Amino acid sequence: MPFANVYLNNSTHGTVSDDKGHFSLTNVPLGTVEVVASFVGYQTNQQTLRLTGAQSQPITFRLKPSAKTLAGVTVKASRNEKKWQQQLRQFKQQLFGEPFGSQCVLTNPEVLQFTEEKGHLKATASEPLVIDNEALGYRLWFDLAYFDGEPKQVHYGGAARFEELKTTNERQVNRFRRNRMRAYLGSTRHLMASLISERTSRKAF
């Protein structure tokens, strides 16, 4: 697939395939990684690799058209704007969470479609969601796979890549660093790192 996005899930590491669909990812960390390929109008594809050495490892993706692409263009009825805004508020609140949810900006909400059934809010997106996290200093592209929100809980999944928001303000840079550490401490990633280093007993979980 020419000009598809190819990236390591939940990282800043990614590239775009060339006009023949070829791509190369360099400086990939050793261990288990999840490689994602996505293109607008096609289903996102993910593959897990186990890298144990410096040798290159070939990987091939075959993207399938999404159901909406196969269905073709249809004329949509005008949506209930007030209802859609209410659904959007719930979606953002549950997706962004705390403590920095109020500082996240969804820049392309128009790609979202919502349905409700028996107290469940479900969401799909025609394109990757673009989210600016102004607390941590990242722009995130999120390929939403599913979203199922209830009043007291939410289930969602997908794949994400991100890049740092550019700033020359040193105070802003330091603020990003402090917030990233705050988000990291007590997280699952922090817990696993502590287990590996055998320092769990000295940390507060």
- Mean pLDDT value of segment 139-148: 95
Give 185's contacts (C-beta < 8 A, 6+ positions apart).
Answer: none
Tell me: the pLDDT tens digits for 5-39?
Answer: 999 998 989 999 999 999 999 888 889 999 999 99
Tell me: the pLDDT tens digits for 45-67?
Answer: 999 999 887 778 889 999 999 87
Give pLDDT, residue 16.
Answer: 93
- Mean pLDDT value of segment 180-184: 85
- C-beta neighbour count of 32 within 10 angstroms: 10
Taking the CA atoms of 40, 45, 51 and 56 in sequence, report the sign of the dihedral they define: negative
- Mean pLDDT value of segment 142-161: 94
What are the residues facing 42 on neighbouring strands?
65
Distances (CA, A) of 165 to 25, 69, 131, 162, 177: 22, 32, 11, 9, 12
Confidence class for position 148, pLDDT limits 50, 70, 90: very high
What are the residues facing 148 on neighbouring strands?
122, 155
Taking the CA atoms of 49, 43, 26 and 156 in sequence, report the sign of the dihedral they define: negative
pTM for the full model?
0.75
